[in-house]
């Protein structure tokens, strides 16, 4: 189980737009690279990153093999009330990782 790294503020002002930076350890094997014996290494990528805040969608990202290994994704969230930021990654070969951060609105 991959351990994601998530950088998000613990407290924000009401209505503030803040940046969330995420990174998850994953090889993002493209499926287009030949291995030691000349045959292609099978694809193994993170297909989707979904982020929700206080029960509503923030972003839903569909990733292709063109995203670099250990996918880093940063985006902006608007918080009107306190809530939990929930992040889930899903991918090939049953890959799944999740992380949540409680964010207090002052």
Partner 1 sequence: MNATRRTTLAGIAALAVAPFGAHATPETMRAAIAAVASGRPMREGKVTLDIQPLVDNGNTVPMRVEIDSRMEGADRVRAIHVFNERNPQPHVLSVAFGPQAGRASLSTRIKLGDTQKVVAVAEMEDGTLWTAGVDVIVTIAACIEGIE
Per-residue CA distances from 23 to 16, 35, 40, 44 (Å): 23, 26, 26, 17
Window 39 to 68, contacts with partner 1 (CB under 8 A): 40-41, 52-54, 56-68
- How many CB atoms neighbour CB 77 within 10 A? 21
Rounded Cα distance between 65 and 26, Å, is 12
Q: Which stretch binds partner 1 (CB under 8 A): 3-11, 16-24, 87-95?
A: 16-24
Residue 102 binds partner 1, judged by CB under 8 A: no
Residue 76 binds partner 1, judged by CB under 8 A: yes
Q: Which is nearer to partner 1, 10 or 62 (CB)?
A: 62
* Residues 11/104, Cβ–Cβ less than 8 Å: yes
Binding mask 77-96 for partner 1 (x = CB under 8 A): xxx-----------------
- Residue length of the chain: 106
Q: What is the DSSP letter of 93?
A: G
Residue 69 binds partner 1, judged by CB under 8 A: yes
Contact positions toward partner 1, by CB under 8 A? 17-18, 21, 28, 30, 32-38, 40-41, 52-54, 56-69, 71-79
């Amino acid at each position: 189980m991959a351990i994601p790294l998530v950088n998000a503020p613990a407290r924000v002002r009401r209505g503030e737009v803040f940046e969330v930076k995420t990174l998850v350890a994953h090889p993002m094997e493209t499926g287009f690279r030949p291995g030691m014996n000349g045959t292609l290494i099978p694809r193994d990528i993170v297909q989707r990153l979904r982020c929700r805040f206080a029960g509503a969608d923030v972003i839903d990202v569909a990733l292709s093999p063109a995203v670099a290994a250990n996918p880093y994704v940063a985006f902006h969230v608007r918080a009107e009330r306190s809530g939990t930021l929930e992040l889930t990654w899903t991918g090939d070969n049953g890959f799944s990782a999740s992380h949540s951060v409680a964010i207090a609105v002052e």
